[in-house]
Amino acid sequence: MKLRLKKLIKDNNASIISVFTLIMILSLIIIFIIFLTSTISINNQETSILNDKNFEYHIEDYKRNIEIISYNVLNKTINDHIKTREASTNSREEIKNRLNNRLKEINNDYYRNYNIKIDSNVLSVNNDDNPFNINIKVKLNFEKDNNTYSTIETYKISIIGLEDPLPFLKLKNSDLTYNSTNFNYHNSLNSYLNEKSIDGSSYINSSSPLIFKKCPYEPYEIHGNNLSYNCIINNYYHESHDGSCIFCRLEGKADCNHYGLETFIVSCKNDKNKSISSPDHVIFSDNPYEGDKIVINDKTFLFLDNGHKNKYGFN
C-alpha cells in the first residue's frame, strides 16, 4: 500500500512536470508569434511612413523645380524668337503651351522613375506687379498608391538675366551686332528711323543693354549725371508705365498698357542739341518724339524729353 502511494505520487509529479513544460513551450511559442506579428506590423508602418515621406519629398521637389523650368522655357522662347527674328503672335499663350509640354515630359519621368502620376495644367502666364517678374499659375495633381495631393501654385519668375528680344524683332537682320552685355546699333537704328522720315544720325554707333538687369538707383530721381553714367555702364533697365513689358517685347511691341520696362539707347554723337528721346520705347515706338541733349561725359550722350528728364532727375 505504501509502495503504491509512492508510485502514484511519483507518476503525478512526472505528469505535472510534463504539463508544466508543455505550458511553458506553448507560452513561448505564443510570445514568439506575438513578437513576430508586432515586428511585421511595425515594419509595415515604417514602410508606409517612408512611402508618404518619399511622396511628400517628390511633390516638394517637383514644385520647387517649376521655377527653374519656367525660367528655362521663357529663356528658350526668347532665344527662338531672336533666332528667327519673328515676333510671337501671343507670347503668354505661347509660353503657357511650351511650359505645359515641358511639364508633360517631366511628369512622364516621374511616373517612370517614382511611379507617381502627375497631372499638371498651366492655368495662366501673365504680368506681375513687378515688371522684372512674370506670374505663372499651375494646377497640380499628384497620385501614388492611395495617396493623392492637389494644389494650385502661383510662381513669380524673374526675367533678370534674360535677353531683350525687342531690338532683334524691330531691326530684323540689319547690321545690329551684340556682345555679352550690349547691342551695338552701327547704322541700323539710323536707317530704321530714316524709314519713318526721321533723322536718326545721332544714333549711329549707339548702344543699349542686351540683358535685363534691374537698376538699383531708387528713387529714379536721384540719377542725375553721375548715377546715370553708372546706370549706363552697368546696362540697367528701369520700371516704366510707357515702356513695354516682357510679353509685349516678345510680340515686337515697344509700348503697351502693362507696367513695363525701359532702358536708354546711348548716343556717342555730340553734333546735335535735339534728337529722338533715348528711352528704347520712344525710339522703337510708332511715333517717336524728341528730347534735349544731355552730356553724361565727352563720349556719352542722352536725349531726354521733359517727362524723362524729371523721372531721372535732370531738372
Report in angstroms how near the CB of residue 212 gets to Zn ion at its nearest. 13
Residue in the structure block whose three cell numbers are 542722352: 302
Stretch that binds Zn ion, among 46-54, 66-74, 196-204, 252-260 (CB under 5 A): 252-260
Residue closer to Zn ion by CB (options 193, 248) is: 248
- Closest distance between Zn ion and the C-beta of residue 253, in Å? 7
- Give the interface segment with Zn ion, choosing from 36-44, 148-156, 240-248, 279-287 (CB under 5 A): 240-248
Contact letters for Zn ion, residues 30-59 (x by CB under 5 A): ------------------------------
* Interstrand relation of 260-262 and 238-240 (parallel, antiparallel or unpaired): antiparallel
User: Does residue 304 touch Zn ion according to CB under 5 A?
Assistant: no
- Cβ 236 to Zn ion, closest distance in Å? 5
- Residues in contact with Zn ion, counted by CB under 5 A, come to a total of 8
CB of 259 vs Zn ion, minimal distance in Å: 8
232, 248, 265, 294: which one binds Zn ion (CB under 5 A): 248
* CA-closest candidate to residue 266, choices 233, 289, 288: 233
The phi, psi pair for 143, rounded to 5°, reads -145, 130
> Which residues, other chains included, contact 101 with Cβ-Cβ below 8 Å and sequence gap of 6+?
none
Judged by CB under 5 A, the chain residues 131 through 190 that form the site for Zn ion are: none
Question: How near is the Cβ of 277 to Zn ion at its closest, in Å?
Answer: 16
Query: Which residue in the set 59, 215, 265, 266 belongs to the binding site for Zn ion (CB under 5 A)?
Result: 215
Distance CA 71, CA 79 (A): 12
Q: Minimal distance in Å, beta carbon 174 to Zn ion?
A: 24
Nearest distance in Å: CB 165, Zn ion: 13
Within 256-285, which residues bind Zn ion (CB under 5 A)?
256, 258
Q: Which residue lies nearer to Zn ion by CB, 143 or 239?
A: 239
231 in contact with Zn ion (CB under 5 A): yes
Amino acid code (one letter) for 274: K
- The answer to whether residue 309 forms part of the interface with Zn ion (CB under 5 A) is no
Options 17-25, 41-49, 137-145, 236-244: segment touching Zn ion (CB under 5 A): 236-244
Q: Which stretch binds Zn ion (CB under 5 A): 79-87, 133-141, 198-206, 254-262?
A: 254-262
Q: Which stretch binds Zn ion (CB under 5 A): 72-80, 152-160, 209-217, 293-301?
A: 209-217
Among 142, 236, 237, 303, binds Zn ion (CB under 5 A): 236
Q: Which is nearer to Zn ion, 213 or 269 (CB)?
A: 213
Length of the chain: 315
Q: At its nearest, how many Å lie between Zn ion and the CB of residue 126?
A: 10
Instruction: Label the pairing between strands 133-144 and 117-127.
Output: antiparallel
- How many Å apart are CA 232 and CA 219, to the nearest integer? 16
| Residues that bind Zn ion in the complex, under the rule CB under 5 A | 215, 217, 231, 236, 245, 248, 256, 258
